[in-house]
Amino acid sequence: MSTESTTRGGTTRWWALALIATAQFMVIMDTSIIGVALPQMQADLGFTQHNLSWVFNAYVIALGGLLLLGGRLSDLFGARRMFATGWLVLLVGSLVAGLATNVGIELTGRAIQGAGSALIAPSALTLLMMIFGANPKELTKALALYGAAAPAGGTAGVFLGGVITEYISWPWVFFINIPIAAVALIATPALMPGGAMGGRGSVDIFGALTVTLGLAAAVYGIVRAPEVGWGSGETWIALGVAAALLVAFVVSQAVSREPLMRLSIFRTPNLGAANLAQILLGGAWIPMWFFLNLYLQQVLDYTAFPSGAALLPMTALIMLGMIVLAPRIMGAFGPKVPIVAGLLILAIGMGWLSLIRPDGNFWVDVLPASLVAALGMSLAFIPSLGTAISSARPEEGGLAAGIVNTSYQVGSALGLAAMTAIAAAFGADQLGNAQALTDGFSAAFLGAGAIALVGSGIALVTLRRTPAAEPAKDTDVTTT
């Protein structure tokens, strides 16, 4: 191979990584960009105070529930094909959501967006492993850049949502996806490897339905519980249905010849432990980000634009930590040390945030504690993600990616629902009462900190200590 073609191939790989990171950025951004736009959407489309949260939940439930199916489809039909299909579905969903004239159409559009993201996310990780898996040093760097795109997407969503809502109109929080998806569709055939990782088999329709509906019912029950009561019939029916469906899913996977999720995959050393770390990391981080934004707006009276800007220092530290610090610590000590330490530092940051005051200010009450929490997130995310993906067999890369994405998203949804209930119990539903709001948000920060602390302890016990060189060895994957 000539020097020119080698250089061109190397350049193409990094452009491919840019597209993969953009995919992760967009998947996370679409969870946060609607936040500031919700009041205008409520007025224009006829949402009530009780069903307004489903603009967020419809996306997250579709995303979390369909990720395993997305991973399986990626393994069966090829990661590049599913990556492109996901962008097309996201484009259609964004168009429907932006053009919606009533509640039903809006929620349908959001669910279609979530389905598109559920195809994009696992195939993006599979493509990353295909492109960089043969070079452990490059793989660590690629995973760091991929991971840093997540917090950037979350903060950009808040920031862009505020700018778009204030200066244009709320439909554009969805329309902004359309040109990006169009560019991704054009670029994917030129940048992404094709063919490899696809295999023979069938799609487990029963498994896909039971896990998707089971996860949706669980999230629905927990999200609705603060409104209707934890002891209400609606809550117990929803959680009972969720339990029955998820049990049926597990049983079907155990007896199926071609299951959606091979249960024996969890016998792989560290895979189950790394996914559990991702569940608890999402369950702690997303509530922190959510309630910190509410504290800025509802207690400190920040408007949309400065509220988004206030999260930029935290985001910058996360990106720096993921790209520079976490890979070095992982290279020196293996993945266990940064995962355990990161979750512990995140818990400390949450505890500090719980000291917020109703008459506080950004420089004292928000910035220092949020930076500590951001440092913890940046240390734990990449090692747990990389361990969960690289532990699986190469031909099951899409499944492993689907499982770890599902873990984080479901942990995020359930953690946010639980902390919302705690915050409401301590006064966070009393709009206009700064003291009550602060007490509620403080309780949510403490609850999220407890999740991170438990996560650190579980990771300490369940993760096997591996030499720094061993994860590199495990990440070898066929490159095309």
Instruction: Give the pair of three-digit tokens for residue 161.
Output: 């949502």
- Cα angle 21, 31, 265 (rounded to 5 degrees) comes to 65
pTM given for the model: 0.77
What are the domain boundaries of the chain? 3-191+260-474, 204-259
Segment 323-328 long-range contacts (CB within 8 Å, at least 24 positions apart): 323/141, 323/144, 323/145, 323/148, 324/144, 325/378, 325/379, 326/144, 326/378, 326/379, 326/381, 326/382, 326/383, 327/140, 327/141, 327/143, 327/144, 327/382
Per-residue pLDDT at 3: 36
Per-residue pLDDT at 470: 43
- CB hemisphere CA count around 131 (13 angstroms): 29
Class of the CATH-defined domain 3-191+260-474? mainly alpha
Over residues 359-397, the pLDDT tens digits come to 989 999 999 999 999 999 989 988 888 888 776 666 666
Residue from 175, 192, 23 nearest 93 by CA = 175
Task: Supply the DSSP string of 5-43, one letter for each residue.
Answer: HHHHHHHHHHHHHHHHHHHHHHHHHHHHTTTTTHHHHHH
Instruction: Give the pair of three-digit tokens for residue 75.
Output: 């393994």
Per-residue pLDDT at 480: 29
Backbone φ and ψ of 138, nearest 5°: -70, -35
DSSP 396: G
DSSP 430: -
The span from the CA of 151 to the CA of 153, in Å, is 5
Q: Which residues of the chain have pLDDT under 50?
A: 1-8, 196-198, 469-480
